[in-house]
Amino acid sequence: MNTPLIFAPDFAARRARLRKLLKTEKVEGLLVTNFINVTYLTGFTGDDSYLLISADDEVLVTDLRYTTQLEDECPNLKLKVRKPGEQMTPTLVSVLEKSDFVKLGIESGSMTVGQYVDLQEKLPKIEFAPVKGLVEELRMCKDKFEIDATRLACVQARKAFEVVRAGLTPDTTEAQVAADLEYQVRKFGGKGLSFTPIVGVGARAALPHGRPTNKRLGEADFTLIDWGANSGLYVSDLTRVLVTGKPSARLEKIYNVVLEAQLAGIKAIKPGVKCEDVDAAARQVIERAGYGPQFGHGLGHGTGLDIHEAPRFAKGQETVLKPGMIVTVEPGIYFPGWGGVRIEDDVLVTKTGHEVLTDVPKLFEECLVR
Report the alpha-carbon distance of residue 92 to residue 276 in Å, rounded.
Answer: 41
Q: What are phi and psi of 263, to 5 degrees?
A: -65, -35
Report the alpha-carbon distance of residue 265 to residue 114 in Å, rounded.
Answer: 43
Class of the 11-139 domain? alpha beta
Q: What are phi and psi of 2, to 5 degrees?
A: -80, 140
**pTM of the full structure:** 0.94
Question: Residue 6, Cβ neighbours under 10 Å: how many?
Answer: 7
- What does each of the 370 residues of the chain score in pLDDT, given as a tens digit? 455 454 678 999 999 999 999 999 999 999 999 999 999 999 999 999 999 999 999 999 999 999 899 999 999 899 999 988 889 999 999 999 999 999 999 999 999 999 999 999 999 999 999 999 999 999 999 999 999 999 999 999 999 999 999 999 999 999 999 999 999 999 999 999 999 999 999 999 999 988 999 999 999 999 999 999 999 999 999 999 999 999 999 999 999 999 999 999 999 999 999 999 999 999 999 999 999 999 999 999 999 999 999 999 999 999 999 999 999 999 999 999 999 999 999 999 999 999 999 999 999 999 999 8
216, with CB counted inside 10 A (0-12, 13-18, 19+), is middle
* Spans of all domains in the chain: 11-139, 144-367
CA distances in angstroms from 16 to 42, 138, 320, listed in the order given: 12, 11, 23
Superfamily assignment of 144-367 in CATH? Creatinase/methionine aminopeptidase superfamily (3.90.230.10)
Residues ≥6 apart with Cβ < 8 Å to 192: 182, 185, 186, 229, 230
Give the residue among 313, 200, 322 at the shortest CA–CA distance from 262: 313
Report the alpha-carbon distance of residue 225 to residue 135 in Å, rounded.
Answer: 32
How many Å from the N-terminal Cα to the C-terminal Cα in the chain? 29
